[in-house]
Amino acid sequence: MNHFINLKDIPVSDLRKILNDAKKRKNKRKKTNTLDIDKDRPLRGKLLIQIYEKQSSRTRLSFHIAIKQLGADSITVKANELHLGKGGESLADTAKIISTYGDGFLLRTDSDKKLEDFSKNLTIPIINLLSPSSHPCQVLSDVFTIEEIKMKPISKLNICWIGDCNNVLNSLIAASVKFKFNLNIGCPKNYSPPKLVLDWVKKNKRKINIFNDAKKAAKNSDVIFSDKVVSLNDKVNKLKKIKDFENYKINRNIMKVTKPGSIFLHCLPRGNEVSEEVFLGKKSRVWQQALNRVHVQKSILLYCFKKLR
Ligand code: CP
Ligand code: NVA
């Protein structure tokens, strides 16, 4: 079995296998209904247990569909209804129980340590559905969307992130190292990626380009990414942070300096970091991006069960 916790810990050959499998499976589903099961029913009889400690719309729904299309089933347990931590039940005991009843565990959590502790105590695979430090399912799926739209390997493209240096960006940075693509980041001075992340990039002999000017970061980009300025796990002065990012809003002037065929992506939910005109405009591919979560997550599940073709 394989866990799927952080892109930086997964060999690029495996990430590429996941993307190839997703492409093949997506192509085969042109005339099917949402819940039609793939012909090979690769996860028939399996039970996936999902827990969300934080809100989710897309991840929850796209995994529900992905699991059904593979012939498996899932149950979502409400985080506040678990015994975990209450009445003295330890994480190790909860992990043992989840491994006894389920075949796979999917967790969205506000604690990276909890993911790590579960991975050590489970005897079934775990998938990270978003943590304070990463969002690997989102970003691998976004690599798929970019290559699908641009019809070339992401290593040949200029990718730009304008906004907060958060969990999604950390995973995008990991992807830039694994898939070797050029990554520009536009953010205010005091909001650069953490030193630990930058040191890891350096250790892997890659470079990312940080600009404290949104237009400079966006220049000649093929893809512009943005995300909410205030994330679910942010315990900051929200009004101050939003003000600090005032000059980093994606609008038509930013999109003007990108390459002619450029696209705009956003994982959603959104705030004021992008204008309505860009978000709903011709360059935006956000709905295709959301749909592709289903296809890529199916192949992530198959990777976890070592069933990739
Ligand atoms: N993009 C994303 O993960 O959305 P949700 O928080 O709605 O799952
Ligand atoms: N950075 C955002 C992503 C939501 C999908 C958050 O963590 O809230």
pLDDT value at 153 more than 90: yes
Whole-number pLDDT of residue 36: 97
Domains belonging to the chain, first-starting first, are: 7-134+293-304 (3.40.50.1370), 136-289 (3.40.50.1370)
- For the chain, the distance separating the N- and C-terminal CA atoms, rounded to the nearest angstrom, is 15
The reported pLDDT for the residue numbered 17 is: 98
The reported pLDDT for the residue numbered 179 is: 98
Calculate what percentage of the chain has a pLDDT beyond 70: 100
Name the nearest CA neighbour of 160 among 135, 142, 144.
142
Distance, in Å, from the CA atom of 166 to the CA atom of 157, rounded to the nearest integer, reads 22
pLDDT (mean) for 192-199: 95
Query: What pLDDT, in 10s, does the model give residues 176-190?
Result: 999 999 999 999 999
- Proportion of the chain above pLDDT 90, given as a percent: 94
Active site residue 267: yes
pLDDT of res. 81: 86
Which amino acid, 198? Answer: L
Give the number of the atom of ligand 1 that is nearest the alpha carbon of residue 137.
3
Q: Closest Cα to residue 143, out of 1, 232, 267, 278?
A: 267
pTM confidence score: 0.98
* Helical axes 167-178 vs 136-150, angle rounded to 10°: 60
Judge whether residue 295 has pLDDT over 90: yes
Q: What pLDDT does residue 88 have?
A: 83
For 68-101, what is each residue's pLDDT tens digit? 999 999 999 998 888 887 888 999 999 999 999 9
The per-residue DSSP string of the chain comes to ---BS-GGGS-HHHHHHHHHHHHHHHHTTTT--TTPPPTT-TTTT-EEEEEESS--SHHHHHHHHHHHHTT-EEEEEEGGGS-BTSTTB-HHHHHHHHHHH-SEEEEE-S-HHHHHHHHHH-SS-EEES--SS--HHHHHHHHHHHHHHH-S-GGGSEEEEES---HHHHHHHHHHHHTT-EEEEE--GGGPPPHHHHHHHHHTT---EEESSHHHHHTT-SEEEE--SS-TT--S-HHHHHHHTGGG-B-HHHHHTS-TT-EEEE-S---SSB-HHHHTSTTB-HHHHHHHHHHHHHHHHHHHTT---
Q: Give the ligand at the shortest distance from the Cα of 62.
A: 1
Q: How far, in Å, CA of 115 to CA of 113, rounded? A: 5
Among the bound ligands, name the one nearest to the CA of residue 59: 1
Q: What is the mean pLDDT of the chain?
A: 97
Whether the CB of 227 sits within 6 Å of ligand 2: yes
When pLDDT is cut at 50, 70 and 90, the band that residue 201 belongs to is very high
Specify the range with the lowest mean pLDDT, choosing from 57-66, 178-187, 210-219, 230-239: 230-239
What is the tens place of the pLDDT at every residue in 4-32? 999 999 999 999 999 999 999 999 998 99
Please confirm, yes or no, whether 227 is among the known catalytic residues.
yes
pLDDT one-digit tens code per residue, 108-144: 999 999 999 999 999 999 999 999 999 999 999 999 9
Q: How far is the CA of 163 from the centre of ligand 2 (A)?
A: 12
pLDDT band per the 50, 70, 90 thresholds, residue 227: very high
